[in-house]
Amino acid sequence: MFNRGAIINIRGLGHRTIDSVMRFGYASRFFALTLLNSGACFRRPHLIVRELYYTGVQSMIIILVSGLFVGMVLGFQGYQTLNTYGSESALGVLVALSLVRELGPVVSGLLFASRAGSAMTAEIGLMKTTEQLSAMEMMAVDPIARVVAPRFWAGVVSMPLLAAIFSAMGVYGGYLIGVVLIGVDDGSFWSQMQSAVDFREDIVNGVIKSVVFGVAVTWIALFEGYDSPPTAEGVSGATTRTVVTSSLAILGLDFVLTAFMFRGI
Amino acid sequence: MATDNLVEISGVGYAYDKRRTILSDIDMKIPRGKVVAIMGISGSGKTTLLRLIAGWFKPTRGDIRVDGVLTRELDRDGLYSMRRRMGMLFQFGALFTDLSVYDNVAFQMREHTDLSESMIHDIVMMKLHAVGLRGAHHLMPSELSGGMSRRVALARAIALDPMLMMYDEPFTGLDPIALGVIRKLVRRLNDTLGSTSIIVTHDVQEALDIVDYVYYLSEGVMVAHGTPEEMRASTDPLVRQFVWGEADGPVAYQYPSRKFNEELELV
C-alpha cells in the first residue's frame, strides 16, 4: 500500500510533467508564429536594424573584453602545457582551434544570454505588464510581428557575428601573451595556425554552433518575456529563467552538435 | 445595415471555466454619438465586458454586435479591421516607452496607412493640439506626468478618428486638475469627432457629470441602468451605496471572516 504522502508526490510529479510538456508546446507554437509573422519585419528592415543595435552593438564591449581576456589566459595556459613538450610553436593552433571550435560560440553564447537575452525578456515582460502589448493588439498590430519577430532575427544575426568577434579578439589576446610577452616565434604562431585551422571543419562548424545558440537563446528570451506573469515578481522570475535555461540549452546543444561534428573515430 | 445603436449586447455571458463565471446575461445598447458609462466596483466584470466588445475574448453565451457585425463570427483579419475603427485608452496610458510622444501618436498611421511623413506630421500635431500637448511632441513617455501620459494616450487612440472610443478607468490616479482635463476631453472629443464612447469606471461623480447613460454591474450581473439623474435618484440600496460611496451596505465592509470574538478567542 502507498501512503498518502507518496501519492501526493507522484501526483505532483505528474502535474509538473504535464505543465512542462504544455509549456514546451506553447513555446513551439510561439516559435512557429514568430517565423510565420516574420514577413512584415523583412519588408521593413529598419525594425531589425534597430534591434541589431540593441542586441548586437550594445553587446560588443562585453564580448570584446571577454574575448581578449579568454585569449590571454589561453596564451598563458597553452604555453605552459606546450612548453613541457617543446612544442610552444603550436600555441597559435591551440588558441585558434579552442576559440573557433568551442570557446568562441559557447562563451559568447553565454554572455549573449546574460547581456542581450535577459534584456529582451525584461523589456517584453515589462511591455506586457504595462499593457503596451495589449495596446498594440488593440490597435490591430500583431505584437509577434511588430515586437517579437524583429528581435528574433536581430538575435539570430548578431550571435554568429559576436562569436566571430570574440574568437578574433581571443586570437589577438593569445598573440599578445604568446608572441609579444613570452616571445614565441611570430612566424610559426601565425603559419601553423593558418595551416591547421580548416575552413569547413573548424570555422563553418563554429558558425553553425553560434547560429544554433543564437536561435535557442533568442527564442527562450522572447518566449519567457512574452509568457511572463504581468507583475514585478513575474518579470524578474522570467529574466532569471532566461539566463538559466539559455545557459543550460547552450551547454546541452554544444554537446549534441560537437558529437555530430566529431570526426575522430 | 446601420442601426441607431453602435454596440448591441444581448444575453452575453462569459466564464473563464466552469467554476469562474465573470459575466451573466448582460443586455446593453450603446447608441451612436452617446457617451455611456459601465460602472461597478472592482472585480465586477467591467473591463472584461470592454474586452468582449473589442473582440479580445469571445463570449461564452449571447451575441455582441458592433456596427451591425457579430463579433463572434469575425476571423483575425476581420477583428483587426474592426479594431482599426476603435480606440482604447488604457488605465495607465500604455504608451510605448521606447517611442517619443510624436512617434506614439504616429504609430497607427505608420502601421496602417500609406500617408506621407509630412501628412502624418500634420495629423499628429492636430491630435496633440486637441489634447493640449503639441509642445510636448519631442518628449519621451518617461518625461511625462501621469495626466500628460493619459492625454498623449488619448491623442494616440483618436489618431485614426475611431467610430468607437473605449476608456478603461480613465480617471484613476489623477490629480484634480488632470482629472478635470481628461473628463472634459472625453466629452469634447466624442462630440467633435462624432464618435461613440464607452467609459468603464468606478469614479462615480466624475463620470456622472459627462455621460448620457449608465449601466451598473455587480458581480457580473447588470443590476441597474439609467440616465445619470436616475442613478443619483435611485433608491436601490446597491446603487445608492455605490453612487454615494457608503462604506457599508449590500457590499459588506468586512471581507467574509469568522466572528470577531471567535477570532480573538474570547469565547
In order, the DSSP letters of B205-232 are HHHHTT-SEEEEEETTEEEEEE-HHHHH
**B111 contacts in A (CB within 8 Å)?**
139-141, 146
Residue A16 included in any domain: no
State pTM to two decimals: 0.86
Can you give the residue range of the structural domain that contains B251? 5-263
More confident residue, A194 or B233: A194
Task: Verify whether the Cβ–Cβ distance B56 to A137 is below 8 Å.
Answer: yes
Encode pLDDT of B23-79 as tens digits.
888 999 999 999 999 988 777 888 889 999 999 888 999 999 999 899 988 998 999
Residue keyed to cell 610577452: A181
**A132 contacts in B (CB within 8 Å)?**
94-97
**A141 contacts in B (CB within 8 Å)?**
107-108, 111-112
- What mean pLDDT do residues A68-79 have? 96
pLDDT of residue A144: 95
| Nearest chain B CA: its distance from A132 CA (Å) | 5
User: Could you say which residues from 78 to 117 on chain B have a Cβ atom under 8 Å away from some Cβ of chain A?
Assistant: 79-81, 83-84, 86, 88, 90-92, 94-97, 107-108, 111-112
Whether A138 has its CB under 8 Å from any CB of chain B: the answer is yes
Residue A15 included in any domain: no
Whether A89 has its CB under 8 Å from any CB of chain B: the answer is no
pLDDT reading at A35 higher than 60? yes
Which SS3 state, helix, strand or coil, does residue A262 take? coil
Task: Verify whether the Cβ–Cβ distance B88 to A140 is below 8 Å.
Answer: no
To which H or E segment does residue A184 belong?
Answer: none
Residue A17 included in any domain: no
Encode pLDDT of B179-236 as tens digits.
888 888 889 889 988 899 999 988 888 888 899 999 988 888 888 889 988 888 888 8
Which band of pLDDT confidence, cut at 50, 70 and 90, is reported for residue B2?
Answer: low
- How far apart (Å, rounded) are the C-alpha atoms in residues A186 and A176? 10
pLDDT of residue B205: 81
pLDDT reading at B1 higher than 60? no
Contacts of B22 (CB under 8 A, 6+ apart): B14, B15, B16, B45, B48, B220
Task: Verify whether the Cβ–Cβ distance B83 to A139 is below 8 Å.
Answer: yes
Please check whether residue B182 is in contact with residue B170, taking contact to mean a CB–CB distance below 8 angstroms.
Answer: yes
Name B64's bridge partners.
B9
- How far apart (Å, rounded) are the C-alpha atoms in residues A233 and A48? 30
Of A134, A139, A142, the CB nearest to B107: A139
**What does pLDDT average to over chain A?**
94
Give percent of chain A with pLDDT exceeding 90.
Answer: 90
Between vectors from CA B172 to CA A123 and to CA B45, what angle results, nearest 5°?
A: 85
- What mean pLDDT do residues A65-76 have? 97
- What mean pLDDT do residues B233-255 have? 74
- What mean pLDDT do residues A121-133 have? 95
How many interchain CB pairs under 8 A, A with B?
A: 46
Residue A30 included in any domain: no
Can you give the residue range of the structural domain that contains A169? 37-261
Domain CATH code at residue B149? 3.40.50.300
pLDDT of residue B218: 84
Whether B57 has its CB under 8 Å from any CB of chain A: the answer is no
Instruction: Give the lowest-confidence range in A66-75, A179-188, A204-213, B203-212.
Output: B203-212
Residue A25 included in any domain: no
Of A126, A135, A142, the CB nearest to B90: A135
Which band of pLDDT confidence, cut at 50, 70 and 90, is reported for residue A175?
Answer: very high
Per the structure, the count of domains in chain B is: 1
Kindly state the cell numbers that stand for B187. Answer: 466629452
Per the structure, the count of domains in chain A is: 1
Task: Verify whether the Cβ–Cβ distance A140 to B112 is below 8 Å.
Answer: yes
pLDDT of residue A215: 97
**Cα-based distances in Å from A162 to A20, A58, A148, A156, A239:** 32, 11, 21, 11, 21
pLDDT of residue A2: 63
- What mean pLDDT do residues A25-45 have? 93
Name B225's bridge partners.
B215
- How far apart (Å, rounded) are the C-alpha atoms in residues A210 and A193? 21
